[in-house]
């Protein structure tokens, strides 16, 4: 917990590479699946793959959020909403390619891919995170002494940036209120 | 609350009758309309009749849910020492309620877990977070200045943060997620939801929308409008 942490450039292992392929395939399947129920289920698999990927890149807090919220809760809420609709039987499993939309998505992908050249490698010492070690190392080294908790992520969220977290919690609360207002209900029932 | 649930029960029975009627008519009267789904992914209107009571799902949920709930509590309470925290733990605990609802029926879970509990979690969490933040302000400090919290023996910084995570964030997230689940399961076509477009996609195609048309069509007052509608 204390002391400086030296950056290590990570190499892409076979498991990570297969996870990348899995995530890309499930994302494409989500976009092209003709049946909405199939798209929702494949989207849940995509979120689970992203959660595993976050774990490999040492962001377990983000991975747990992705697995619980995106793979679990969002899938359940989307399925609940789908149960309110009628389901049309499709003979084709996949949507036909909409070429203008595919062209726009391709242009966006190319634009983002150009910026990827300048993104430093994972764990690279040139990354902006390491370019200001006085700040980043201070949080890693002093969190336990200052706050008494070992999880730096939680210390940043609950203490160093606690006011932001209060705003986020109120946003979650407001989301519940907004759902009640939109559905014209006074109770969660 | 009891009146509302009685009304709901009656409404569901009526919907169930209409459902069977619509299915019986669908083959002969309207072949154009796409076939309705069988009773998968049950929710409100179909909850009364075709809730499939699966022994596999029920016994699996019975075994898994205590462990999942304990894991949610662990993630919440141990957020200071390991990955996780109130947000993730609250989501896991709400997901346990989702599992129970899918195994034993959403309506039964809704009655078991009253609206009061859901609202108390969401509102109480928000108020607790605000109170923990405002107590140091009242004592002359800054918002969420944990070291001013009046905790006698414990470390006020550590346990103030834990209190924010456990009493505040976990309660808000679990309460709001459960509330979203129940309110989405009920949907937009409940009985007391006022004028709603949900009536149009429910199964009462044969009685409700026809009556206003029959009542209005003999009146020639708004000739243009009714002609446009009837054509």
Residue contact B158–A148, C-beta within 8 A = yes
pLDDT of residue B171: 95
Chain A residues touching B146 at Cβ < 8 A: 147, 159
C-alpha closest to that of A43 among A18, A66, A62 = A66
Interface check for A175 against chain B (CB to CB < 8 A): the answer is: yes
B181-205 pLDDT per residue, tens: 998 888 776 544 444 444 444 444 4
Confidence of residue B16 (pLDDT cuts 50, 70, 90): very low
Interface check for B107 against chain A (CB to CB < 8 A): the answer is: no
How far is A24 from chain B, CA to nearest CA, in Å?
25
Looking at mean pLDDT, say which of A48-52, B37-41, B75-79 comes out highest. A48-52
Q: Which of A1, A51, A84 to mutate to test the interface with B (most CBs of B within 10 A)?
A: A84
Domain locations in chain A? 8-96, 132-189
Q: How far apart are CA A84 and CA B202, in angstroms?
A: 9
Q: Is the dihedral of CA B141, B145, B149, B153 positive or negative?
A: negative
Confidence of residue A146 (pLDDT cuts 50, 70, 90): confident
Residue contact B178–A188, C-beta within 8 A = yes
Whether A33 has a pLDDT exceeding 80, the answer reads yes
Q: How far apart are CA A148 and CA A139, in angstroms?
A: 13
8 Å CB contact between B189 and B202: yes
Tokens of A137: 């190392």
How far is B96 from chain A, CA to nearest CA, in Å?
10
Residue contact B157–A188, C-beta within 8 A = no
How far is B225 from chain A, CA to nearest CA, in Å?
29
- Can you tell me which residue has the tokens 């619980």? A68
DSSP secondary structure letters along B97-109: HHHHHHHH-HHHH
pLDDT of residue A6: 64
If one looks up domain A8-96 in CATH, what number appears? 1.20.120.1200
Chain A residues touching B179 at Cβ < 8 A: 176, 179-180, 188
pLDDT of residue B51: 60
- Beta carbons within 8 Å of B102's beta carbon, 6+ residues apart: A76, B57, B61
Looking at mean pLDDT, say which of A127-141, B47-61, B186-200 comes out highest. A127-141
- Can you tell me which residue has the tokens 């700040």? A135
8 Å CB contact between A34 and A94: yes
Range 27-56 of B in CB contact (< 8 A) with A: 34-37, 40-43, 46
Residue contact A173–B98, C-beta within 8 A = no
Residue contact B34–A80, C-beta within 8 A = no
- Measure CB to CB from residue A83 to each of B43, B80, B87 and give the nearest one: B43
Residue contact B186–A189, C-beta within 8 A = yes
What is the greatest pairwise CA distance in chain A?
63
Residue contact B180–A183, C-beta within 8 A = no
A91-123 pLDDT per residue, tens: 777 878 889 999 999 999 999 999 988 888 777
Tokens of A142: 């002093």
Around Cβ B82, how many Cβ atoms within 10 Å?
Answer: 14
pLDDT of residue B187: 74
Q: How far apart are CA B160 and CA B57, in angstroms?
A: 40
Interface check for B113 against chain A (CB to CB < 8 A): the answer is: no
Q: How far apart are CA B180 and CA B119, in angstroms?
A: 11
Chain B residues touching A88 at Cβ < 8 A: 34
pLDDT of residue B54: 84
Least confident of A177-186, B47-56, B95-104, B157-166: B47-56
- Measure CB to CB from residue B193 to each of A150, A157, A184 and give the nearest one: A184
Interface check for A174 against chain B (CB to CB < 8 A): the answer is: no
Interface check for A171 against chain B (CB to CB < 8 A): the answer is: no
Tokens of B57: 């799902």
Residue contact A68–B83, C-beta within 8 A = no
Confidence of residue B107 (pLDDT cuts 50, 70, 90): confident
Confidence of residue B213 (pLDDT cuts 50, 70, 90): very low
Q: How far apart are CA A70 and CA A91, in angstroms?
A: 29
8 Å CB contact between B180 and B138: no
8 Å CB contact between B96 and B112: no
């Amino acid at each position: 917990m204390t002391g400086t942490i030296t950056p290590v450039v990570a190499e892409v292992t076979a498991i990570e590479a297969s996870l990348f392929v899995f995530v890309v395939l499930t994302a494409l399947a989500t976009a092209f699946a003709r049946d909405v129920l199939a798209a929702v289920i494949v989207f849940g698999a995509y979120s689970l793959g992203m959660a595993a990927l976050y774990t490999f890149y040492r962001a377990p807090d983000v991975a747990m959020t992705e697995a619980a919220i995106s793979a679990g809760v969002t899938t359940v809420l989307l399925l609940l909403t789908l149960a309110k609709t009628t389901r049309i039987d499709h003979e084709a499993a996949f949507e036909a390619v909409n070429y203008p939309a595919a062209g726009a998505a391709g242009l966006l992908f190319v634009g983002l891919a150009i910026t990827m050249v300048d993104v430093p490698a994972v764990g690279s010492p040139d990354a902006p995170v390491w370019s200001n070690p006085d700040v980043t190392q201070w949080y890693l080294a002093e969190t336990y002494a200052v706050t008494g908790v070992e999880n730096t992520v939680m210390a940043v969220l609950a203490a160093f940036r606690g006011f932001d977290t209060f705003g986020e919690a109120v946003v979650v609360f407001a989301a519940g209120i907004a759902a009640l207002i939109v559905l014209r209900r006074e109770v969660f029932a | 609350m009891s009146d509302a649930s009685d009304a709901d029960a009656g409404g569901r029975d009526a919907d169930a009758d209409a459902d069977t009627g619509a299915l019986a008519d669908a083959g002969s009267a309207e072949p154009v309309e796409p076939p309705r789904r069988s009773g998968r992914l049950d929710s409100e209107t179909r909850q009364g009749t075709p809730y499939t009571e699966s022994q596999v799902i029920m016994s699996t949920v019975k075994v898994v849910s205590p462990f999942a709930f304990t894991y949610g509590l662990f993630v919440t309470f141990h957020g200071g020492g390991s990955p996780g925290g109130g947000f993730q733990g609250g989501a896991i605990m709400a997901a346990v309620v989702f599992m129970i609802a899918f195994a034993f029926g959403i309506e039964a879970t809704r009655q078991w877990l009253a609206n009061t509990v859901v609202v108390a979690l969401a509102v109480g969490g928000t108020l607790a977070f605000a109170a923990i933040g405002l107590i140091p302000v009242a004592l002359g400090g800054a918002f969420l200045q944990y070291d001013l919290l009046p905790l006698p023996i414990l470390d006020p910084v550590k346990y103030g943060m834990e209190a924010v995570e456990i009493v505040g964030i976990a309660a808000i997230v679990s309460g709001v997620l459960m509330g979203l689940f129940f309110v989405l399961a009920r949907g937009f076509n409940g009985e007391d939801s006022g004028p709603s477009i949900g009536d149009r996609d429910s199964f009462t195609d044969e009685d409700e929308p026809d009556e206003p048309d029959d009542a209005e069509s003999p009146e020639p007052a708004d000739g243009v409008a009714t002609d446009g509608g009837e054509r």
